[in-house]
Structure 1
Amino acid sequence: MIPGATDRPLIFLDVDGPLIPLSSRPPGHRTFRDEELSGYGNPLLHRLDPDDGQRLLALNCELVWATTWMADANEVISPLLGLPELAVVEWPDTDEDPPHGLHWKTEPITEWAAGRPFIWLDDELTEADRQWVASHHGCRALLHRVDPHTGLTKADYSLIRRWLAE
């Protein structure tokens, strides 16, 4: 467990897919205006939902970046969503492939959780990841695949709140 950590459940957040969907948000959905994103240089940031930060904070969990954005998520995504600086999972520098069917993030995230309950929000999760975590993590875990075309939705947040209430 990292210094200063609590017993609150962890939420591991991927950026591309869950927070920045592959498809544009539907008409009428709140997004950032171009002038709010000037200077960031990433043309996909307008797909962020400005309300996701408050929704995530309302879950009262410890939020952790689990993304290839690494520390850049704190420099770009956190300020846009009104999130504080979050811990970042550092990925191992290895050429070894994980066991067949396992996502390359699965083992590092499970190690980072260090026996704490966690939720992992990613668009590339499979049943192999769920089974591996169930057999290698001694605590509750929700590995939730977010549709990469829609990003996080009200239904996703509802499922997370139900899991936390159990």
Structure 2
Amino acid sequence: MTTQPSAVPTTALNATAQPRPLLLFDIDGVLSPYGYGNAANLPGYTTHPVSPQAWKDYPAYPKPKYHWVHLNPEIGARLEALPLDLTMVGPWQPKEVEELLPAAGLTRLPGFIAVQDRSFFARPDDPGRSMWDPEATIRDRSRDVIGATCLERAGADRPFAWLAAGFPENLQRDLSRDHGAPVLLHVVDPRAGLTDADFAALTQWAAAVAARPPAPELKLLRCRDCGERSSIVVDGRREDRTHEACRSCCECYCPDPQSDGGDRFQPCGDLERERCEDCGWCANCGCGC
């Protein structure tokens, strides 16, 4: 079985359509319950020994050779039926998750948000298993989530619902301040995994997000039309500034890939993957080396 992880898609920067919400989750405590006692207490679940790289690197002593996950194919099928884009936030790699897809009831890999914190466990209800402060781990991951879902464009940030066994007390407030789209932090009972009540809450939230009024259309201008052409040099690398009115790069401008006539433009910052690593210039506009 060869599959590719779903991309975390972005919305055309000058489109009025609402971006499709994301559903963020990790395996531990969401897809795979824990702390319930005997596996016989989990009807429909099967148990699988796994040894992902983050588990191998997990500095617990003593540590068993395998980590055991408990998966129910009905759960994955119900997740894929939601009007949300499934996205994993955790230490797992796509190839490691791919092996679990049939047991989890998923027909394709979810999207992945790379996280800098490689802690294997983030269990606020059971910090002894996490070895580190689990709330700090979730806060660290939230910064990676914001980086992946915030497009710095009015009305274009991705709404997301995040499933976990618990969240830091002030995280909802912090995310509401830093993110320009609806956010749902939904606590899952890690002993039961996802239940009918959880799916009902997600369905209700997704319907409320879909009912939002369309985002206002924002006219993008060529950078040279802004009258602002300034940049700074940091450690020998050029840092472009953006104009507050049009949010376009003030030193060069990039054609919107979805613009057939090349008459629409977007900031270079949204084409970060096309920047030259040596000089920092946008390769789409012309490398400055």
Q: Which residue of 2 aligns with 1:112?
A: 148
Q: Structure 1 CA distance, aligned partners of 2:33 and 2:203?
A: 21
Q: Given the alignment, which residue of 133, 152, 159 partners 2:194?
A: 152
What does 1:52-71 correspond to in 2, within 5 Å? 52-71=75-94
SS of corresponding position for 1:130 = helix
Q: Given the alignment, which residue of 68, 85, 90 partners 1:44?
A: 68
Higher relative contact order (CA 8 A, sep 6+): 1
Which deviates further from its counterpart, 77-86 or 146-155? 77-86
Q: Which residue of 2 aligns with 1:29?
A: 43
SS of corresponding position for 1:116 = coil
1:126–1:145 CA distance, 2 compared to 1 (3 A)? farther
SS of corresponding position for 1:68 = coil
Q: Structure 2 CA distance, aligned partners of 1:3 and 1:57?
A: 15
Q: Which residue of 2 aligns with 1:10?
A: 22
TM-score by length of 2: 0.48
Q: Which residue of 2 aligns with 1:88?
A: 112
Structure 2 stretches lacking a partner, 5+ long: 1-6, 12-18, 52-65, 119-132, 151-156, 209-289
TM-score by length of 1: 0.79
Which deviates further from its counterpart, 64-73 or 12-21? 64-73
Q: Contact 1:101–1:128 at 8 Å: present in 2 too?
A: no
Q: Contact 1:13–1:64 at 8 Å: present in 2 too?
A: yes
Q: Contact 1:103–1:124 at 8 Å: present in 2 too?
A: no
Q: Structure 1 CA distance, aligned partners of 2:174 and 2:96?
A: 27
1:70-106 Cα offsets, whole Å, 9 max, x none, are 3355323333223212221111269xx9x97962211
Q: Which amino acid aligns with 2:162?
A: W
RMSD of aligned Cα (Å): 3.0
Which deviates further from its counterpart, 77-86 or 12-21? 77-86
Q: Structure 2 CA distance, aligned partners of 1:40 and 1:100?
A: 25
Greater Cα radius of gyration, structure 1 or 2:
2
1:3–1:125 CA distance, 2 compared to 1 (3 A)? closer
Which deviates further from its counterpart, 20-29 or 49-58? 20-29
Q: Structure 2 CA distance, aligned partners of 1:102 and 1:93?
A: 9
1:161 aligns with 2:203: yes
Offset at residue 152 of structure 1 (A) = 1.3
What does 1:121-140 correspond to in 2, within 5 Å? 121-140=163-182
Aligned residues: 157
1:13-70 Cα offsets, whole Å, 9 max, x none, are 11101111113466472112x6xx5x8575623x222211111011121111112223
